[in-house]
Structure 1
Amino acid sequence: MAQTMDWQTLLNTERPGKPGRAEDPGRPNYTQDADRITFSAPFRRLANKTQVHPLYANDHLRHRMIHSSEVASVGRNLGMQVGHWLEEEREIKPGEAHKIAGVIHAACLAHDIGNPPFGHSGEATIGAWFKQQFERSEGLFKGVDEALWEEFIKFEGNAQGYRILTRLEMYRGKRGMDLTHAVIGAFTKYPMSASSSKAIKDAKAATGIAPADVKKHIYAGAKKFGFFEDERDIFATTATALGLIEEKDPDGRSWWRRHPLVFLVEAADDICYNIVDLEDGFTAGDLSFAKVKGLLLDLIENKPNDQSGFTEYEQISHLRAMAIGSAIGACVEAFKTNYTDIMAGRYSGELMDDSALGSQFRAIRKLASAQLFTAPRKTKLEVRGRNLIFSVLDGILPAYTALKEAGWSEADLPAYEKQLVRAVGLDLRGVNSNYTALHAMTDFVSGMTDRYAVETAKLLSGTS
């Protein structure tokens, strides 16, 4: 008999660190989760991390914290509409639509919390630096289990975000922010480790599928990885509490089918970055008014009345709002259409692509790929960002190498390395092996803002 997931367990809002504790009905745990995320230092740092466009001296362009807040707003609306439908279908109890909306809202707030400076190119840069080091196989990079290399050479902001939420922030080294099981489940887009993701891809490639096409032929939750090996047991506890469907990779390691709310968190992100990238592209001067207006109108069924009295900026702003409303409705309908497969863990698509507006969004992505992601300012930012991140990693590596030589005792570091630790604020707690040292390095560099990366690179290179 095919397995199916159950909302009674999927909406488990207990905290891993406080099982059985009664929930305050006046301030539900998922609301507290959103507060913990909003007031956290990693969330604040998103205000100085690139979304798509470089951080110009233009207050109207979005940075990653604004993007996360907008995604949370869209996610809450998606959750409320889907929740009301589930109530009507008697899939959930009366009043639980608010719980679904609240869980999605919190997960959306955190969805980019692990992203490094300089946008997604920062992820690729961190991976490229580690790949070079592992190929040299010297010092800290010698003796690390090859199965763990993937965590570094394919550095993943989603997994780093999971690490922040469950280990690094608030109750450091214990349970992190101790967010509810439901919020962590909705946050975890790729419920498997790097080794499981690689094993699944390798097995598919062995059937003769070209490496470039493998991701098209595997489960959506296996395309990347959502937690590091150190956090596997933490996620296993949450997966059990939520009743997620467990699978085994070709090497016998556990992985899980996605929590159904992941698809709504993903849809909220897709809606925002596709639509607001157009608005920001127009504001930055990279896209014409006519092109952006046309693409937004294509998303709107009930066209707006005469806008001749408004400025071009006001028109685009109005159309963006209407387009988001249309996209929310389309994704809700796609969730309903695919509901049975979603609950059985079989659905492997994206709600936006599978919605009635799928072709329109594909046209937007095609334009963004051709004109936004290759804009000169963005390209220059990515080149500069790569050099800065390489400089930072090169600069802090001696501190961790010296720590190993000192028997992992910070007190026994040589004088210069002690100064280096203090100067840039390296956190050496819990660093007691090559593997933990490498993760401490990625914790540091991925946590930097764009501006702090610039200043730290100057300091370490002696040019400040």
Structure 2
Amino acid sequence: MKMQWNKLLSSKRLGSSECLGDGIRTEYYRDYDRIVFSASFRRLARKTQVHPLSFNDHIHNRLTHSIEVSSVGRSLGLAVGLAIKDKLPTDITAVDFASIIQAACVAHDIGNPPFGHAGEYAIRQWFTENENLLNSTLTIAEQNDLKYFEGNAQGLRIVTQLEGHYKDGGLRLTYATLGALIKYPWKSDNKLASEKEKFNVFQSEVDIYSKISEELGLIKLDDERYSRHPLAYLMEAADDICYKILDIEDALELDLLRIEDVIPIFKKLSNAAEFNEINDIGSEFSSRKRIVAYRAKVIDNLIREVVAIFEHNYNDIMEGKFEGDLISKVTGDCQVGIQEIKEMTTDKIFSYRRKIELEVGSYSSIESILSAFITAINQKIDNIATFKSKRILDLMQDDLPSGESTTPYEYYMAITDFVSGMTDNYATFIAKQINGNAK
């Protein structure tokens, strides 16, 4: 059984029966616009990509990373759409692929907390170490949503429920874009969540996930899990290409690496003729200009590699049988180059002393914030709120649920919404306020 493109590219919107095309923008372009104009996307400008609170304005943050990923995703979508055009219905074009993947890519990190992955780990660790503070009414699955907090699942929650349509339904994106956004199509209590330490669905979005999967005609793999949307593989590949290459560019900017260390790796990842063209004239230019030229050739070549891998594995992808990610299937020099980048980032970038120091500090900030807010919400739940706890919760303003039927789980999720939505700067400020260290 194969998935069908006319279902996979559904332009219907979650939470709405209307198609609001204005004759200028397609439904998928409207998705992109809604994401870009959202407050959650805007806050990515002050969230860490790799290097927290960097003083160097050339270093990537989550917003610049997301924009670059969307650019690569658009190119991948266009190239794949053209490569498989004979397999597509006549009313579906390569531009549709490109615009859906571009929209999914620009939203792929929208749920990431402050301080990058360190912030994600800090949230998980706090809830794991303070499990005794959680209300006894929570199910194991609901506890797992907190103890294994995941930025990807938070992203789905943001675009489907939290961000700002004037009615219910979050951003009301098309089903096609939502499908392409879901990289890990399982819940926190699924065994795959433990094995991969990744998942895309909180308990609060289980029904939404099922609705998306059924609308798109995704293949049901078991009682709880559907196959990935084929375009989700391309969204993931765009992210993989960008962070592998652009982490290196940032490291060069911070003098953690020398260009002489990087050029041999980029040679393996490039088309030989294109690489030599740059290499022959490279000595005339600064290191910054040279690395930009090399980077462009590397990305072009990796796009070609990914397109070929998608084509080669097309039937398995469409039948929900393809396992792993596309970039891991590259062969030859490209495979060697990607492994060398992985080793280099581990040895030279992730062990950078200032990065480690700031990440240690970020743990303290997240711990302080969660301790204060969870204590305050527990007092509210138990009807013993103090003046301090009321003032702490007042910081959440409209983000705090107000209904009498609100469950403890819904309160805890609202707090993780609030904390994970903070920028690096705001989280640092609030932690100082809580600890009485504000200036």
- Superposed pair shares fold, TM > 0.5: yes
The residue aligned with 1:209 is none
Q: 2:388 aligns with which of 416, 422, 427?
A: 416
The residue aligned with 2:399 is 427
Deviates more, 1:297-306 or 1:155-164: 297-306
Q: 1:275 aligns with which of 245, 270, 287?
A: 245
Residues 172, 450 of structure 1: CA spacing in aligned structure 2 closer, same or farther, 3 A cutoff?
farther
Number of residue pairs the alignment of both structures matches: 429
Paired with 1:56 and 1:255, the residues of 2 have a C-alpha distance of: 40
Provide TM-score, normalisation by structure 1.
Answer: 0.89
Q: 1:255 aligns with which of 225, 228, 253?
A: 225
Deviations 1:376-418 (A, max 9, x none): 11111110110110011112223211220239xxxxx543333
Residues 76, 430 of structure 1: CA spacing in aligned structure 2 closer, same or farther, 3 A cutoff?
farther
Deviations 1:148-194 (A, max 9, x none): 22111111000000000000111378211110000000000111211
Paired with 1:80 and 1:416, the residues of 2 have a C-alpha distance of: 54
Root-mean-square deviation (CA), in Å?
1.8
* Counterpart residue identity of residue 116, structure 2: G
Paired with 2:15 and 2:169, the residues of 1 have a C-alpha distance of: 7
The residue aligned with 1:376 is 353
Matches within 5 A, 1:28-177: 28-87=26-85, 89-93=86-90, 96-134=93-131, 137-138=132-133, 140-171=134-165, 174-177=168-171
The residue aligned with 2:288 is 313
Provide TM-score, normalisation by structure 2.
Answer: 0.93
8 A Cα contact 2:76 2:238, kept in partner: yes
1:265 is aligned to 2:259: no
8 A Cα contact 2:123 2:149, kept in partner: yes
Deviates more, 1:259-268 or 1:224-233: 224-233
* Counterpart residue identity of residue 85, structure 1: A
Identity %: 39
Deviations 1:279-309 (A, max 9, x none): 1100011111211222222211122232121
Name the SS for the 2:221 alignment partner. strand
The residue aligned with 1:367 is 344
Paired with 2:82 and 2:137, the residues of 1 have a C-alpha distance of: 53
Q: 1:237 aligns with which of 200, 208, 211?
A: 211
The residue aligned with 1:410 is none
Q: CA deviation at 1:430?
A: 5.2
Matches within 5 A, 1:270-419: 270-301=240-271, 302=273, 303=275, 304=278, 305-356=280-331, 357-406=334-383, 414-419=386-391
Paired with 1:201 and 1:42, the residues of 2 have a C-alpha distance of: 25
Q: 1:451 aligns with which of 398, 415, 425?
A: 425
Name the SS for the 1:320 alignment partner. helix
Q: CA deviation at 1:424?
A: 5.7
Paired with 1:257 and 1:159, the residues of 2 have a C-alpha distance of: 16
Q: CA deviation at 1:90?
A: 3.3
Paired with 2:87 and 2:150, the residues of 1 have a C-alpha distance of: 38
Paired with 2:52 and 2:376, the residues of 1 have a C-alpha distance of: 31
* Counterpart residue identity of residue 282, structure 2: Q
Deviates more, 1:57-66 or 1:142-151: 142-151
Paired with 1:45 and 1:381, the residues of 2 have a C-alpha distance of: 20
8 A Cα contact 2:52 2:359, kept in partner: no
Deviations 1:338-391 (A, max 9, x none): 111000100012111112423321211111111111111111111011011001
Deviations 1:19-68 (A, max 9, x none): 25364442111111101110111101100111012232211111110000
8 A Cα contact 1:165 1:177, kept in partner: yes
Paired with 2:356 and 2:362, the residues of 1 have a C-alpha distance of: 10
8 A Cα contact 2:141 2:203, kept in partner: no
Residues 244, 52 of structure 1: CA spacing in aligned structure 2 closer, same or farther, 3 A cutoff?
same
8 A Cα contact 1:353 1:362, kept in partner: no
8 A Cα contact 2:396 2:418, kept in partner: no
* Counterpart residue identity of residue 321, structure 2: R
Residues 173, 444 of structure 1: CA spacing in aligned structure 2 closer, same or farther, 3 A cutoff?
farther
Deviates more, 1:11-20 or 1:239-248: 11-20
Paired with 1:129 and 1:426, the residues of 2 have a C-alpha distance of: 25
Name the SS for the 1:179 alignment partner. coil
Structure 1: gaps spanning 5 or more residues: 203-213, 216-222, 408-412
Name the SS for the 1:246 alignment partner. coil
Q: CA deviation at 1:230?
A: 1.3
The residue aligned with 1:219 is none
8 A Cα contact 1:5 1:244, kept in partner: yes
1:178 is aligned to 2:169: no
Name the SS for the 1:353 alignment partner. helix
Paired with 2:166 and 2:335, the residues of 1 have a C-alpha distance of: 42
Structure 2: gaps spanning 5 or more residues: none
Paired with 1:434 and 1:172, the residues of 2 have a C-alpha distance of: 26
